[in-house]
Amino acid sequence: MSPTLTAGQHAWLQAMLKQRQHTLEAQLSSHLHGLSAAERAAEVLAQDGDDAPQRLPERDIAAALTAAEQRELQATGAALQRLTQGAYGLCSDCGTTIPFDRLKVEPSALRCVPCESTHEAARGSRA
């Protein structure tokens, strides 16, 4: 258990992460109809027929949502792994404690607020 979290906080966050993981897995399964992302894309293209150009925005939105869900599922799984390894709740950049209030809002957070701000600013300047 992370030294910064009480047993109750640890259990609550673990339950939240597991619930989110379950929800994301169900959403992805529903969107992909049990297929891989590539297989589903090929199936949708084959179904579009003559109206493919008109359906392009719809397909793009569905693909973006699926990709976002896959990224969040990966982040949630990584957070659960950190939780079981005792590294959960520690900033990956500076090693300080991530406050429980931040973890309640973003249970898969990797960084404390100051480090996340720096990270986002650096990403923004590269774009």
- Write the pLDDT tens digit of every residue in 79-125: 999 999 989 999 999 999 999 999 999 999 999 999 999 999 998 87
pTM, two decimals, is 0.76
The answer to whether the beta carbons of residues 121 and 103 sit under 8 Å apart is no
Q: Residues near 91 by Cβ (< 8 Å), separated by ≥ 6?
A: 97, 98, 110, 111, 112, 115
**Is residue 24 very low, low, confident or very high in pLDDT (cuts 50, 70, 90)?**
very high
State the pLDDT at residue 39: 66
Place of tokens 């990224």: 71
Q: How far apart are CA 33 and CA 26, in angstroms?
A: 10
CATH number assigned to the domain covering 7-126: 1.20.120.910
Place of tokens 């900033």: 91
H/E element holding 65? helix 52-85
**Is residue 45 very low, low, confident or very high in pLDDT (cuts 50, 70, 90)?**
low
More confident residue, 60 or 8: 8
Q: How far apart are CA 103 and CA 108, in angstroms?
A: 7
